[in-house]
Amino acid sequence: MPHHTCPHCGEELVEDISIAYGNITVEDHGVLYFQGRRLELPRVQHQIVEALIAAKGRALTRSYLAEWLDGDVFDQSISVYVGRVRATFKEIDPGFDQIVSVRGFAAYKWAFKSRRGLRKAH
């Protein structure tokens, strides 16, 4: 995140940046918007979604995601957290299929869906 200093007090300011990818927008502090609905996730789940969205369709390995979480979660636990994230999104959209497992690589990627729910043409 970009850092700036307040010209009045010298305090370091942090600018909130949101990341949008198709039908999801990820904001700081555990808040995101999926299909226009506000959704709050626990910290680890939010950080996993944030990493997948920031990758914009590129696959991220479980070990990369574990590093992204600053070692708070072990590589083997990532699958459990991804399952929890999927379950949360399925509560909103029972047909949710945007977190794709990349077989043979122990990786995940976020499959783009337009705001109307259509897959992005390649």
Strands 99-102 and 19-21: unpaired
Give the pLDDT of the chain (122 residues) as one tens digit per residue.
444 566 666 666 555 568 888 899 988 777 899 988 999 899 899 999 999 999 999 999 999 999 988 877 888 899 999 999 999 999 999 999 999 999 889 999 999 877 554 444 33
The pLDDT value given to residue 18: 81
Q: Domain limits of the chain?
A: 3-110
Q: Give the pLDDT confidence score for residue 120 in this predicted structure.
A: 42
Q: What is the pLDDT of residue 117?
A: 44
Q: Check if the beta carbon of residue 39 is closer than 8 Å to that of residue 88.
A: yes
* CATH topology for the 3-110 domain: Arc Repressor Mutant, subunit A (1.10.10)
Side-chain half-sphere exposure of 69, counting CA atoms within 13 A: 24
Contact indicator for 53, 110 with CB cutoff of 8 Å:
yes
